[in-house]
Chain A
Amino acid sequence: MKRAPILRGFTLFYLLFLYSPILLLPIFAFNESKVMAFPLQGFTLTWFVEMASDQNLRNAAKNSLIIALSVATLSTVLGIFAARASVRYRFPGKAPLMSMIMLPLVLPEMIVAMALLVVLLSLNIPLSLFTVILGQVLICTPFAVAILTSAFQSLDRSLEEAALDLGETPWSTFRLIILPLVMPGIMASFLICFTISFDEFIIANFLGSGQPILSVYIFGQFRFPAKVPSMLALGTVLVCFSIILLGFAEYMRRRGIAKAGGKDSGGFL
């Protein structure tokens, strides 16, 4: 490989710029001082204890988990239907229908949130976690469809026909052949939707009606300087959580590819 010092330097700078702020989180989360400033003043776990004992925070985390799990499940299920239909069947109006499903991907989230708020209020539907889930499913489904479409596309059509030919019904064919082979795609879709939902702010703020939701709660806490260190502790926990999640997703993806005998190309890690 050729040496290119400028490109190498640029890459290093880019990565540093990207990740060093995140690295500051754990550094200050374990720092004794309430102020985020060097020099560091000694190691402490106080902020983690304070975080864990914050009842509101625990509520917010619980709500966020409920929302993220629901959104990931719903979006992925909807994504399976849409992706399967778009890859496998031809029907009138398919192209405009698929573009409409994908549209929220490029639509400003602000507009989606405002529009939904107006509609929900005029329909007298009370704002709750449920309305947040509804709004976030709208945002996440396009991601699920995009991931799952490529999973379904890489499936050889004659595998299905072979299963039918060997006496299986369309449903048992789906269960025994299609589902196991697109499982890595389903896992990927679930994890991505979970992540998107978990740190989503605009819809959570607009449609949450003041219910504690993690992203909104964190934003609110930053107004109080005394709360900042425990938020940094929370951030540290979330970073660790993300890394574990990503590692798991990558493990599942590689196992899926190895199982199907495919060639590994790309991936996250």
Chain B
Amino acid sequence: MTFSDDRPTMIEFKDVHKYYGDYHALRGINGSIRAGEFFSLLGPSGCGKTTLLRTIAGFEDISSGVIMIDGKDMVGVAANVRPTNMVFQSYAIFPHMTVEENVGFGLRKDPRSKEDKARAVAEALEMVGLKGFGKRAAHALSGGQRQRVALARALILKPKVLLLDEPLSALDKKMREHMQVELIKLQRQVGITFILVTHDQEEALVMSDRIAVMFEGEIAQLADPETLYRRPATRKVADFIGTMNFIPAEILSESGDAVEVEAKGLGRVALDIAQAPAKTGETPVVGLRPETLTLLYDDQKAPERETDGVIDEVIYFGDMTYYDVYLGGTDVEVRLSMRNVPGRPVLDVGTKVRVAWSPSALVLFR
């Protein structure tokens, strides 16, 4: 997360709209992606993230607005001359060619000599860890290998932007986690702007420098992963990224840089204005991540605030235990997570507990 803000802009969206007949797929996209950034478009299916990616690649026209890539307006520029390359969800490996032919496909019109091209192909294969696979038939590869071929094929052209359309969704969990790390390393190595489309919030948090969360054709929030997680802009974003407890609250006073609320089960809390994103007209609630709540054992003291509770449900995960706890004799239930360290027993349903929390971890949605 040490991404510097002073890098030049690579892609810029200005009020981009896309209609499919009556369907309004992109509803005024604004924002910019910086050069060398690992950027993710995150959202549920049908939110427009893939459509947005395809407008960058040039597979979809936009109905109105402007998309600039490296300072050039892309309206009317065909996909085959844009400085972008794509890794497709299905990988789109040409089945009638060898691995080598696939990777070298984009070099067909390259004026370099045959030997130079062969060297470039070999280098690209080595970069993705497929050294010596060149002569294999493309259809004889495993899912992970296909993905690497697709990566090598796209990167060999040294594009300004690499577009990745849910590239990991077809892999099993272990392989996916492995490839996440590989992709991050690869991106740092080549320094190309990566734009990843994903519906997996964990994947986006792990891999990205910045993330645009999209709902219904709009960007709900564009921020770095930590901001997105700790300071979600809306309740919907908070709900989509990780787990968050929502507690009904009443706004008592609001003045300049402070908001005072009465949260059910927690009591009166004074919040900094930074903890209260712009109003959206929702019923006020405060949000708390499970890991910001802690069970107090024996005579432990809460560093800041504490609240009584009763355990309603225990979910054991091995390294962690999730507890659902009713707060302070109310019907407000929160989920909290505790690491299972030695000497800390897993508690039973019905146990009366004390819950420690910190006002600075709260986010107010209103």
Q: Given A158-B88, A260-B139, A261-B137, verify A165-B96 contact (CB < 8 Å).
A: no
A261 (CB) vs chain B CBs: closest residue: B139
B86 within 8 A of A: yes
Encode contact with B along A155-188: 1 for CB under 8 Å, 0 otherwise. Answer: 0101101111111110000000100110000000
Give bound CA distance, A161 to B94, whole Å: 11
Question: From residue B104, how far is it (CB to closest CB) to chain A in Å?
Answer: 10
Q: Is the CB of A164 within 8 A of B95?
A: no
Q: Which residue of A lies closest to B140 (CB)?
A: A261
| A260/B96 in contact, CB under 8 A | yes
Query: Which residues of A have CB within 8 Å of B133?
Result: none
Known: A156-B92, A158-B90, A161-B92. A167 touches B157 (CB 8 A): yes
Check if A167 sits within 8 Å of B95, measured CB to CB. no
Q: In the complex, are the beta carbons of B108 and A165 less than 8 A apart?
A: no
Q: What residues on A are CB-neighbors of B84 within 8 Å?
A: 165
Q: Mark B137-172, 1 if CB is under 8 A from A, else 0.
A: 111100000000000011001000000000000000
Q: Which residues of chain B are near A164, meaning CB under 8 Å?
A: 59, 78-80
Check if B86 sits within 8 Å of A165, measured CB to CB. Answer: yes
Task: Give the nearest-CB partner of B163 in chain A.
Answer: A165
CB-based nearest A residue for B84: A165
- A156–B139 CA distance with the chains assembled, in angstroms: 14
Known: A168-B80, A169-B80, A260-B96. A161 touches B137 (CB 8 A): no
Of residues A165, A168, A259, which shows the largest number of chain B Cβ atoms within 10 Å of its Cβ?
A165
Considering only residues 43-86 of chain B, those with a C-beta below 8 Å from chain A are 57, 59, 78-81, 84-86
Instruction: State A156–B57 Cα separation when bound (angstroms).
Output: 18
Q: How far is the CA of A165 from the CA of B109 in the complex (A)?
A: 13
Q: Which residue of B lies closest to A183 (CB)?
A: B96
Interface range for B: 20 to 34
Closest to A173 in B: B80
Of the listed residues A162, A166, A261, A262, the one surrounded by the most CB atoms of chain B closer than 10 A to its CB is A166
B88 near A162 with CB under 8 A, answer yes
Asked if A162 meets B109 with Cβ closer than 8 Å, knowing A167-B80, A167-B81, A261-B137, the reply is: no
Chain A's interface size range is: 10 to 19
Query: Are B85 and A165 in contact (CB-based, < 8 A)?
Result: yes
Would you call B139 and A161 a contact (CB within 8 A)?
no
In the complex, chain B residues 82-123 whose Cβ is within 8 Å of any chain A Cβ: 84-86, 88-90, 92, 94-96, 105-106, 108-109
Give Cα distance in the complex from A209 to B157, angstroms.
62
**1/0 per residue A241-269: CB within 8 Å of B?**
00000000000000000011110000000
- Please name all residues of chain B whose beta carbon is closer than 8 Å to the beta carbon of A158 when the two chains form the complex: 88-90, 92
Chain A residues, Cβ within 8 Å of B157:
166-167
A261 touches B153 (CB 8 A): no
Indicate if the CB atoms of B138 and A261 lie closer than 8 Å: yes
A165 to B153 CA separation, bound complex (whole angstroms):
11
- Is A166 within 8 A of B105, CB to CB? yes
**In the docked arrangement, what's the CA distance between A180 and B138, Å?**
15
A167–B111 CA distance with the chains assembled, in angstroms: 14
Assembled-state Cα–Cα distance A164/B81 (Å)? 9
In contact, B94 and A159 (Cβ under 8 angstroms): yes
Given contacts A161-B79, A162-B88, A165-B57, contact A259 B105 (CB under 8 A): no
User: Chain B's nearest CB lies how many Å from the CB of A152?
Assistant: 15
Tell me the complex Cα distance, A7–B79, Å. Answer: 59
Residue in chain A with minimal CB distance to B153: A166
Chain B residues, Cβ within 8 Å of A167:
80-81, 106, 108-109, 157
Binding site for A on B (CB under 8 A): 57, 59, 78-81, 84-86, 88-90, 92, 94-96, 105-106, 108-109, 137-140, 153-154, 157
Would you mind naming 10 contact pairs between A and B with Cβ atoms under 8 Å apart? Answer: A156-B92, A158-B92, A161-B57, A161-B86, A161-B88, A162-B86, A166-B106, A167-B106, A168-B108, A260-B96
**A→B interface (CB under 8 Å):** 156, 158-159, 161-169, 177, 180-181, 259-262
- Known pairs A161-B79, A259-B96. 4 more at Cβ < 8 A? A158-B92, A169-B80, A259-B95, A260-B139
